[in-house]
Amino acid sequence: MSTVTAVQPDSAVARAISAPAVARLRAGRAVWRSRVVRLASVLAAIGLWQVLTSGDVRLWVRFDTLPSVTEIVRAFRHQLGTEVYYLDLGQSLIRILSGFGLAAALGVSAGVALGRSRWFADTVGPLTELTRPIPAIAIVPVAILLFPDDEAGIVFITFLAAFFPVMVSTRHAVRALPTIWEDSVRTLGGGRWDVLLRVVLPGSLPGVFGGLSVGIGVAWICVVSAEMISGRLGVGYRTWQAYTIVDYPGVFVGIITIGALGYGTSAAVELLGRRVTHWLPRVQEAAK
């Protein structure tokens, strides 16, 4: 009996130690399984595109008029060897970062003010609600008349596109905060700035980054559209130019580039959001 009692605690400790390791192993396998499935889905879509376009298939859409994957790859390799491609890439990134940066700063500030100040909500709130449903791309003629050059107008369109998702998401996040948090700070002697810095801003961060994630995607849609209409450089301008000269592989090079840029910037925003809100239980569970 003494031998049994001596072994049992050791086995219990071993099971307790191995349980987290097994959980981490299973989580790692699940992550890799998910990555493999995602990669396989992309490769399957590319393979299907190649089969439909190279075989000149006509169903309810005409794949025989579209370039094949091999033609797009050749065009992509050619573009990567030119200086113009990188100039367009840099110009679009400058426009998106400038407009989105302004939208992030002003959108968060306006959202907090709308959620916290009755006076600000009464004076500025109606104006935002009247202008919010207007598509940013519809403001392109106004931007052309308003700004002295096309560059400032495109940045303004980008800013306008990202501003409203950020502002609305921040406003809702601020208004949804439990009042007991603010009451607790005030009970401990905190003032207005303490409430803002210790309750409002940290508590609204999940909503803020939700708006930023949506805003960066909308900003890319509008910056590309604005470049097609009034730009002289940029991925959107080059894509439209390729269409006008019937360079369809070049059109798809632009489309793929836009998708890659949008995915990269959105992923960067979401990664920053996970790092900033690492204290959230759902983020910690996702990280595991």
Instruction: Name the pLDDT band for 11 (thresholds 50, 70, 90).
Output: low
Residue 58: φ, ψ to 5°: -120, 110
Q: What is the pLDDT of residue 288?
A: 46
Residue 138 DSSP label: G
Instruction: Name the pLDDT band for 18 (thresholds 50, 70, 90).
Output: low
Task: Report helix, strand or coil for 222.
Answer: helix
pLDDT at 180 over 90: no
Cα angle for residues 163, 168, 172 (degrees, 5° grid): 150
Task: Report helix, strand or coil for 62.
Answer: strand
Q: What is the pLDDT of residue 164?
A: 93
Instruction: Name the pLDDT band for 15 (thresholds 50, 70, 90).
Output: low
The structure's pTM equals 0.79
Instruction: Name the pLDDT band for 52 (thresholds 50, 70, 90).
Output: confident
Query: Which tokens hold the place of 279?
Result: 């204290």
Instruction: Name the pLDDT band for 111 (thresholds 50, 70, 90).
Output: very high
Residue 58 DSSP label: B
Residue 188: φ, ψ to 5°: -85, 5
Average the pLDDT over 265-278 and give the result. Answer: 89
pLDDT at 224 over 80: yes
pLDDT at 79 over 80: yes
Q: What is the pLDDT of residue 12?
A: 55
Q: What is the pLDDT of residue 14?
A: 52
pLDDT at 285 over 70: no
Average the pLDDT over 144-166 and give the result. Answer: 89
Mean per-residue pLDDT of the chain = 84
pLDDT at 287 over 50: no
pLDDT at 239 over 60: yes
Share of the chain above pLDDT 90, in %: 34
Instruction: Name the pLDDT band for 264 (thresholds 50, 70, 90).
Output: very high
167 vs 202: CA distance, rounded Å: 16
pLDDT at 3 over 90: no
* Among 93-107, 132-146, 216-230, the range of highest mean pLDDT: 93-107
pLDDT at 81 over 60: yes
255 CB burial (10 A radius; 0-12, 13-18, 19+): middle
pLDDT at 64 over 50: yes
Domain with CATH 1.10.3720.10 in the chain: 68-287
Contact 280, 206 (CB under 8 A): yes
Q: What helix, strand, coil percent values describe the chain, rounded to 5?
A: 85, 0, 15
- Classify 68-287 by CATH class: mainly alpha
Average the pLDDT over 159-170 and give the result. Answer: 93
